[in-house]
């Protein structure tokens, strides 16, 4: 018999095992999905109260959770996020953190980071983006940030990328022991914005300046034109796999940078 977490995973994947308990728990967990509106909430943060996602309309947001204040992996992540805040701001992207700790713990931890911690070449780092207190776990539960198989009283390292209309566009989860890759988080923002602006898709490991994927042909005629090389600048490996060049400059112009 699978344990509760396995049962829920099976249920999410559509596997055959299902019990009434499982269904109830999945519904109660209510994990948001890509393409859903970001669940709304109001919260107390280190930068004052926020109304989410309403206060962030018109901006991209990275809403992320971390397991606990005063822990080393989280500290390294906060210093990295804080040192990249301007880079994200240039991409019209705001940062919002969350953990199941209280406001005074957050404040004390962020002061300690600034006063005492050096990580790589970062020191005297001030975290200026809001850090949500969520001692009731209400927001963490709403966003599916608690994974009981990993830890039932700490949020995992969840990342929700939310677009200017408040829609969830990417979800990434990391376990407690694994610090996030911040180049990847920035790459995700640039790739999503580029896909929106140019109506293209981005292939594996894509970086600005590399060829992008042209959406699949929607008719037999277009498919034929493509393989015959009739579409300007489009190169096809086969009718379903076509790419075109978009320079780095064109990417940044398209996303308004």
Question: Taking CB under 6 A as the criterion, which residues in 53-112 touch ligand BEZ?
Answer: 67-68, 71-74
Smallest distance from ligand BEZ to CB 175, Å: 9
Considering the complex, state which of residue 71 and residue 92 has its C-beta at the smaller distance from ligand BEZ: 71
Question: Taking CB under 6 A as the criterion, which residues in 163-202 touch ligand BEZ?
Answer: 176-177
Interface with ligand BEZ, residue 26, by CB under 6 A: no
Considering the complex, state which of residue 17 and residue 70 has its C-beta at the smaller distance from ligand BEZ: 70
Smallest distance from ligand BEZ to CB 200, Å: 37
Is 236 catalytic? The answer is no
Half-sphere exposure of 30 (CA within 13 A, CB side): 11
Active site residue: 74, 220, 236, 242, which one?
74
DSSP conformation letters of the chain: ---HHHHHHHHHHT-S---HHHHHHHHHH----TTSBPPPEEEEEBTEEEEETGGGTTSEEEEEE-S-SS-HHHHHHHHHHHHTHHHHHHTTEEEEEEESS-HHHHHHHHHHHHHH-EETTEES----S-EEE-TT-HHHHHTT--BTTTBSSS--EEEEEE-TTSBEEEEEEE-TT----HHHHHHHHHHHHHHHHHT-B--TT--TTS-EEPPPPSSHHHHHHHHTT-STTEEEEETTEEEE---HHHHHHHTT-
Considering the complex, state which of residue 180 and residue 226 has its C-beta at the smaller distance from ligand BEZ: 180
Total chain residues near ligand BEZ (CB under 6 A) = 8
Smallest distance from ligand BEZ to CB 113, Å: 12
Smallest distance from ligand BEZ to CB 142, Å: 21
Smallest distance from ligand BEZ to CB 73, Å: 3
Site residues for ligand BEZ per CB under 6 A? 67-68, 71-74, 176-177
Catalytic positions, written as ranges: 74
């Amino acid at each position: 018999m699978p344990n509760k977490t396995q049962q829920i995973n099976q249920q999410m994947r559509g596997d055959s095992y299902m019990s009434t308990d499982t269904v109830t728990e999945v519904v109660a967990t209510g994990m948001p999905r890509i393409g859903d509106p970001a669940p709304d909430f109001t919260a107390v943060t280190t930068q004052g109260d926020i109304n989410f996602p309403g206060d962030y309309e018109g901006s991209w947001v990275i809403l992320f959770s971390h397991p606990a204040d005063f822990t080393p992996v989280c500290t390294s992540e906060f210093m990295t996020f804080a040192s990249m805040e301007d880079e994200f701001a240039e991409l019209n992207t705001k940062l919002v953190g969350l953990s199941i700790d209280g406001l005074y713990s957050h404040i004390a931890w962020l002061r300690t980071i600034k006063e005492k911690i050096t990580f790589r070449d970062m020191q005297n780092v001030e975290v200026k983006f809001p850090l949500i207190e969520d001692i009731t776990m209400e927001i963490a539960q709403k966003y599916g940030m608690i994974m009981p198989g990993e830890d039932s009283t700490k949020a995992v390292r969840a990342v929700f990328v939310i677009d200017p209309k408040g829609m969830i566009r990417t979800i990434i989860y990391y376990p407690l022991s694994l610090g996030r890759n911040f180049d990847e988080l920035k790459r995700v923002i640039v790739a999503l914005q580029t896909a929106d602006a140019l109506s293209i898709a981005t292939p594996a490991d894509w970086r600005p300046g590399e060829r992008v994927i042209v959406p699949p042909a929607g008719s037999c005629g277009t498919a034929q034109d493509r393989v015959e090389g009739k579409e300007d600048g489009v190169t096809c490996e086969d009718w379903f796999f076509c790419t075109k060049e978009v320079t780095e400059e064109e990417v940044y112009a398209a996303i308004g940078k």
